[in-house]
Chains A and B, each alone.
Chain A
Amino acid sequence: MSAKTTTAADNYLSINNIEVIYDHVILVLKGVSLTVPKGKIVALLGANGAGKSTTLKAISNLLRAERGDVTKGSVEYKGDRIDQLTPNELVKRGVIQVMEGRHCFGHLTIEENLLTGAYTRSISRGELKDSLEKVYHYFPRLKTRRTSQAGYTSGGEQQMCAIGRALMAKPEMILLDEPSMGLAPQIVEEIFEIVKDLNSRENVSFLLAEQNTMVALRYADFGYILENGRVVMEGDAEDLRTNEDVKEFYLGLSSAGRKSFKDVKHYRRRKRWLS
Chain B
Amino acid sequence: MNFFLEVLIGGLLSGLMYALVALGFVMIYKASGVFNFAQGAMVYLAALSVVGCMEKGAPLWLAIILAFVIMTLFGIATEKFVLRKLVNQPPIALFMATIGLAFFIEGLAPMVFGSEPRALELGIVDEPIPWILDNWNMVISKFDLVAAGVAAVLVATLALFFQYTRVGRALRAVADDHQAALSIGIPLQHIWAIVWGVAGFVALVAGMMWGARNGVQFALTFTALKALPVLILGGFTSVPGAIVGGLIIGASEKLAEIYIPPVMQDMFGGNFGGIEGWFPYVLALLFLLVRPEGLFGEKHIDRV
Contact = CB atoms under 8 A, between A and B. Distances in A.
Which of the listed residues A97, A116, A118, A165 has the most CB atoms from chain B within 10 Å of its own CB?
A116
B290 interface: no
Interface string A45-67: 00000000000000010100110
Interface string A97-110: 11100011111100
A235 interface: no
Interface in B163-183: 166, 169-170, 172-173, 175-183
B267 to A, nearest CB: 46
Interface string B140-175: 000000000000000000000000001001101101
Contacts, number: 86
B88 A65 contact: yes
A116 B170 contact: yes
A119 B237 CA distance: 22
B184 A107 contact: no
A71 interface: no
B177 to A, nearest CB: 5
Nearest to A177: B183
Contacts of B126: none
Given A66-B88, A151-B301, A105 B180 contact: yes
A119 B176 contact: no
Nearest to B303: A151
A169 B173 contact: no
B124 interface: no
Given A103-B177, A151-B301, A108 B183 contact: no
A232 interface: no
Contacts of B183: 60, 62, 87, 96-99, 103
Contact of A91 (B178, B184, B303): B184
Contact of A116 (B87, B186, B187, B298): B186
A65 B169 contact: no
B185 interface: yes
Contact of A103 (B172, B179, B301): B179
A107 B180 CA distance: 13
A97 to B, nearest CB: 5
A215 to B, nearest CB: 23
A252 B293 CA distance: 48
B179 A88 contact: no
Contacts of A87: 182-183, 185
B179 A62 contact: yes
A65 B182 contact: yes
B176 A169 contact: no
B190 to A, nearest CB: 9
A31 interface: no
A88 B182 CA distance: 7
A60 B237 CA distance: 31
A166 interface: yes
Interface in B237-265: 237
B182 A119 contact: no
A88 B184 CA distance: 7
Nearest to B182: A87
A151 B304 CA distance: 11
B184 A169 contact: yes
B296 to A, nearest CB: 12
Contacts of A88: 185-187
Contacts of A99: 179-180, 183
A149 B298 CA distance: 11
Which of the listed residues B166, B178, B185, B237 has the most CB atoms from chain A within 10 Å of its own CB?
B185
Interface in A16-32: none
A96 B180 CA distance: 11
A248 interface: no
Interface in B45-73: none
Contact of A119 (B87, B178, B184, B298): B184
Nearest to A165: B184
Contact of B184 (A65, A86, A117, A149): A117
Interface string A157-178: 0000000011001000000000
Q: Which 4 interchain pairs have the tightest Cβ spacing?
A: A91-B185, A151-B301, A103-B180, A105-B176
Interface of A: 60, 62, 65-66, 86-88, 90-92, 96-99, 103-108, 112-113, 115-120, 149, 151-152, 155, 165-166, 169
